[in-house]
Amino acid sequence: MCGIVGYIGSQPARDIVVNGLKRLEYRGYDSAGIAIYDTEPHVFKCKGRVRDLEELVLKAGVDGNIAIGHTRWATHGEPNEVNAHPQISYKSTFVVVHNGIIENYTRIKRHLEGRGVEFSSQTDTEVLANLIEHLYLEGDLTAEQAIMLALNKVEGTYGVVIMCSREPGKLFAARKGSPLVIGVGEGESFIASDATPIVEYTQRVIYLNDDDLAIIKADEMILKTIRNKPITPEVKEVDLKIGEIDKEGYPHFMLKEIFEQPRAIHDTFRGRVLPDHSGLRLGGLFNSFEAMSKADRILIVACGTSYHAALVGEYVIEEYCRIPVEVEYASEFRYRNPVIKKGDIVLAISQSGETADTLAAVRLAKEKGAMVLGICNVVGSSIPRETNAGVYTHAGPEIGVASTKAFTTQVLALVMMAFEIGFRKALIDQARYTSLIEELVALPGKIEKALTVNDAILELAKYYQSSENAIYLGRGYLFPVAMEGALKLKEISYIHAEGYPAAEMKHGPIALIDENMPVVVVATKENTYDKIVSNIQEVKARKGKVIAIVTEGDQVISKMADHVVEVPDTLPVFAPVITVIPLQLLSYHIAVLRGCDVDQPRNLAKSVTVE
């Protein structure tokens, strides 16, 4: 996601836009830029945070009554000044800020290059800017006509605000798939990706809909579709306070991010699944699939929740690729002088891309000659910049300290990697590959369904909010889920919790079981189901309280457990992204009931950039 802010009116625009961008930095913060119109557009942009942009602009001393700004979360082109927005068209007539993905940008770029148009960035946004310019000049059109024509040619998503140097006194805003809100002031108008930067100036807003195009002047706005059909704007009152709006109505970022997981999973596979579901296209790994298919061993290094995703990676890569996998805490890997041989691949998993131990592990692995890959969520962060290749999870910025959508999207990235390698090694035939992908694309709907247990989980949380300990059990793909569920509980509710492979109970932990010990068992249908039934019987025989996460329609465990939470059926390989949902919700509700600071738990930081 990126953040867009625009202003047109009688006030100085610069500070309104810069301060608005600061409020949107949670949407992405790898580079930022602004265009200020006094007698012409002046564009300032830089890699880094909005505060770096502010310094640049204040030094230049430029201001005007019209400005558009952007804080980027890169999708096309690495985060740097050239790729930062605003993007300027090749004759500098149009200045564009954009949030979204122009999916047919390659074809349009080739078409324009064939007509002599030169490009300076790697972004899809510059393609849109140059397409508008090209149509404007070739067809001798007005800015509105050229913009409208261009938007009818692009495929994909956009929230876009455009300034035309030859038509001062107006801004153009259009939306398809990426939100844009217009604030209606007295003799002034505001535009932003959400209402956060607007509500301190006006409560009156117009939410653009897909295919809307707004031509905005200081004191008037014309709204139409991109097919030139007039629309009567619907002005709404925003009654949320600034602080809440960031959470879009959710009480905490963590809950918002738990509920964002259907979209996050969808965005992580969007553009990577071939239209006929016959395969995957993981562009970021393209030049390394050969090496991965021939790897003697894959070592996965990570911390915390990312380590738990890595454990799922071990199971899925060994099952589908038959490549030996070792998973290690990055903090241990980096100090024990590990043996790394030629032919080894090291894969680093990190939401932030800045975790010091994981970054150090990456550097050590490179020193020892391994090919190093990454799975990260923050584009342009240190780990992606230092690895040879990788996969970005498109979960969107994760603000809650407790990782939720990072885990599910990391698992999905690992599963997609494993499927593609397995297919390339002919371990998966085309028919099976297609059926696996069909189940993959059904995941957002199944996660939506899993989220419907939220109210039931709240009741469960009331029952266990005063527990002092908890044990989480799982087998196979569900063992890492048990570990992740335990981490969630302990890091935000401060209840001591441990995750174990269910069979491990007999080797010590079962001594902990009594009537005060809640035991969460992740026990959806998979090949060790009968074994976990026995483990539950062992716990029940010692009066332990069992909370079972089971496949909907389960007829065995649901008759044994004290509490049963049903989740949709799926293949074992996808079970982690479904079964973790109730565990995330359980930890969230218990923490809230205990009055803990869910989004900023004590002693923790979102990204541990120190050792």
Q: Which is nearer to ligand AGP, 523 or 598 (CB)?
A: 598
Q: What distance in Å separates the CA atoms of residue 75 and residue 140, rounded to the nearest whole number? A: 32
Q: Which is nearer to ligand AGP, 305 or 524 (CB)?
A: 305
DSSP state string for 107-163: HHHHHHHTTT----SS-HHHHHHHHHHHHHHHTT--HHHHHHHHHHH--B-EEEEEE
Nearest approach, Cβ of residue 312 and ligand AGP (Å): 14
Q: Considering only CA atoms, which of 171, 140, 194, 173 is closest in space to residue 397?
A: 194
Give the residues lining the site for ligand AGP (CB under 6 A). Answer: 303-306, 350-352, 355, 358, 401-403, 491, 607-608
Helix axes 430-441, 405-424, angle to 10 degrees: 170
Is 393 within 8 Å of 403 (Cβ atoms)?
no
Q: Which residues contact 95 (CB under 8 A, 6 or more apart)?
A: 35, 41, 43, 68, 86, 87, 88, 89, 129, 162, 163, 164, 165
Name the burial class of residue 512, with classes exposed (0-12), middle (13-18) and buried (19+) by CB atoms within 10 angstroms of its CB.
Answer: middle
Q: What distance in Å separates the CA atoms of residue 577 and residue 393, rounded to the nearest whole number? A: 14
Q: Clarify whether 2 is annotated catalytic.
A: yes
Among 2, 46, 164, 303, the active-site one is: 2
Instruction: Calculate the alpha carbon distances from 293 to 243, 278, 287, 412, 426 in Å.
Output: 48, 19, 11, 19, 10
Q: What distance in Å separates the CA atoms of residue 137 and residue 143, rounded to the nearest whole number? A: 10
Is 211 within 8 Å of 152 (Cβ atoms)?
no
The length of the chain, given as a count of residues: 611
Among 256, 405, 545, 606, the active-site one is: 606
Is 462 within 8 Å of 489 (Cβ atoms)?
no
Q: Which two tokens stand for residue 552?
A: 């909907």
DSSP state string for 375-409: EESSTT-HHHHHSSEEEE-------SSS-SHHHHH
Identity at 29, one-letter amino acid code: Y
Q: What distance in Å separates the CA atoms of residue 200 and residue 478, rounded to the nearest whole number? A: 47
Q: Which is nearer to ligand AGP, 258 or 402 (CB)?
A: 402
Q: List beta partners, residue 7.
A: 67, 190
Give CA torsion, residues 488, 373, 273, 415, to 10 deg.
-50
Give every strand in the sheet of 344-350, ordered side by side. 325-329, 297-302, 344-350, 371-376, 389-392
Is 131 within 8 Å of 139 (Cβ atoms)?
no
Q: What distance in Å separates the CA atoms of residue 440 and residue 608, rounded to the nearest whole number? A: 31
Q: Pairing mode, if any, of strands 389-392 and 371-376?
A: parallel
Handedness of CA 295, 297, 301, 306 (dihedral sign): positive
Q: What distance in Å separates the CA atoms of residue 44 and residue 588, rounded to the nearest whole number? A: 42
Provide the CA 390 distance to its chain's centre, in angstroms. 15
Is 69 within 8 Å of 44 (Cβ atoms)?
no
Q: What residues are annotated to the active site? A: 2, 606
